[in-house]
Amino acid sequence: MAKTLFRWLFVPLLLIAAGIVISVYTVNNPTDSLVARALTYDSILKSLREHLWLMLVSMIGAIVVGVLVGIMLSRPKLYYLGRGVENVVNVGQTIPSLAILALFFTIIGLGFRVAVFALFLYSILPILRNTFAGIINVPDSIIESARGMGMSPFRILTLIELPLAFPIIVAGIRTAIVINVGAATLATFIAAGGLGELIVIGLSLRRDMIVLTGASLAALTAIILDYLIGQVEAKVVKWV
């Protein structure tokens, strides 16, 4: 038990340690006074906290809504609507994330909530699409034999369709995380903070050290989340 827990946490702990090493190094070895003022433990922690909140809130919302709507659209009665939505989603995915933020900024305004909402909408797309596709692609023969053995539509959904679609849904969530972590760094443009703030400050002061600190911490966050979800998936899906 302790051994498996250790294996689970080994990579995340290593990555967190890397993040701490980077932060401590940059705070203690500033190249000049500008860097020293921008990079303090307080500013890094504040940006990281804001960044995590942006990601977590928007991701959890996107997973809940994306999976539920995906399931709904996969029901036989809504199937054709589902196909339509799938196309709209595919088009929506091609809009650049900066454009989405700009769009929301002009419509709703500035701040954390707007950024969360924009990230949420943007991350829903791959999750919704994959949930729909995952359920629709469960072979007919499997659904029919379940039906023929007397399973109700709800039991078929929970015992057959969702478990079989699970790997595809998880793939959608991982895509969403990658998109989310990139887009979250842009939230600073509508005054929502996050690690993007460090990057933007670094860029405007032309100090690479600040940019690299912000960017590497954002990347590490994404890798840790992706790794954890991958572990959950491997734990659940034993049948492939």
Partner 1 sequence: MIKIENVTKKFPGMEIPAVKDLNLEIKEGDICVLVGPSGCGKTTTMKMINRIHEPTSGSIYIDGQDALKMNPIKLRLDIGYVIQEIGLFPHMTIEENVATVPNEKKWPKEKTKKKVAEMLTLVGLDPELHGKRYPSELSGGQRQRVGVARAMATDPPIMLMDEPFGAVDPITRAKLQNEFLRIQERVGKTIVFVTHDIDEAIKMGDTIAVMRDGELVQHASPNDLLSAPADEFVSSLVGRNRSIKRLHLIRIREILSDLDRPKPAKVDTSVDDIRKQLDESDIRSVMVVDRDNKLKGIIGINDLKKKTGEQAADYIQELDQSVTSDATLNDALSVMLECGEGYVAVVNEDDQYQGTITLGDLLNVVKEDE
Residue partners of 29: CB distance under 8 A and separation at least 6: none
Q: Return the residue matching tokens 């709904």.
A: 72
Q: Which is nearer to partner 1, 76 or 139 (CB)?
A: 139
Least separation in angstroms between CB 134 and partner 1:
12
Tell me if 183 sits within 8 A of 97, measured CB to CB. yes
Least separation in angstroms between CB 142 and partner 1:
5
Residue partners of 208: CB distance under 8 A and separation at least 6: 202
C-alpha span between 196 and 183 (Å, rounded): 9
Q: Return the residue matching tokens 């790794």.
A: 227
Q: Which is nearer to partner 1, 130 or 188 (CB)?
A: 130
Least separation in angstroms between CB 229 and partner 1:
19
Residue partners of 233: CB distance under 8 A and separation at least 6: 166, 167, 170
Least separation in angstroms between CB 219 and partner 1:
34
Number of Cβ within 10 Å of residue 17's Cβ equals 10
Q: Which is nearer to partner 1, 48 or 146 (CB)?
A: 146
Q: Return the residue matching tokens 């539920």.
A: 68
Least separation in angstroms between CB 240 and partner 1:
8
Least separation in angstroms between CB 152 and partner 1:
6
Least separation in angstroms between CB 161 and partner 1:
10
Instruction: At 27, list the tokens.
Output: 């705070």
Interface residues toward partner 1, by CB under 8 A: 139, 141-142, 144-152, 155, 160, 163-164, 237-240
Look at residues 105, 162, 103, 94 and name the one whose alpha carbon lies nearest to residue 134.
Answer: 162
Helices (H), 78-161: 79-92, 97-107, 112-136, 140-148, 153-155
Instruction: At 88, list the tokens.
Output: 């709209």
Q: Which is nearer to partner 1, 65 or 136 (CB)?
A: 136
Q: Which is nearer to partner 1, 9 or 234 (CB)?
A: 234
- Helix 41-74 / helix 2-28 crossing angle, nearest 10 deg: 130
Q: Which is nearer to partner 1, 127 or 146 (CB)?
A: 146
Q: Which is nearer to partner 1, 162 or 229 (CB)?
A: 162
